[in-house]
Amino acid sequence: MSTLHCDGSLSGDKVGFGGLIRNGSGDPIVAYAGLGEDLCVLSMELLAILKGISLCIDKGFHEVSFKSDSKLAIDILNGENIGPWKIQTTKRKILTKSRLLRTKEFVHVWREQNQPADFMASFPSGPSGILWEPRSFSPKLSILIKKDKEFVTYYRM
């Protein structure tokens, strides 16, 4: 099963989203980032999932575990929370696209388990966004992925 780690970011008047798709062994396949328009972190969390699910389908991954550090976003997609009206269109798009997958799960993870996606969500990107293959990853992203794959404990200061 492939894994999509995704995250949304809101910093001042800049909103963004990003994510990282990994294969079943935890090796990175693609990372992405984009800018949003809605000054709402929940909208960015869901936009990160929507972009990620589209990439998974485009790349032929049909068994995917979606992981986000937004418990609210995960609860909304799992049907445990309806969510505010402003995210209903994005939610509907995600759930519609997810029907194209053979297997899927929406899982909440702690922020410490989502560092590469957090890095991508706050990465400066232009209007068209960023799509990186592993050979073009920045050194910092590569280090975060390596530490994450090796289960290196992250301590918040």
Question: DSSP H helical segments within the chain, as ranges?
Answer: 41-58, 71-77, 88-98, 115-121, 139-149
8-53, pLDDT tens digit by residue?
998 877 889 999 999 988 899 999 999 988 888 999 999 999 999 9
Tell me how far CA of residue 54 lies from CA of 15, 60, 110, in angstroms: 20, 10, 24
Confirm or reject CATH 1.10.10.60 for domain 2-149, answering yes or no.
Answer: no
All residues at 6 or more sequence positions from 26 whose CB lies less than 8 Å from its CB, including other chains: 3, 148, 149
**This prediction's pTM:** 0.91
89-147, pLDDT tens digit by residue?
999 999 999 999 999 999 999 877 788 999 999 888 877 899 999 999 999 999 999 88
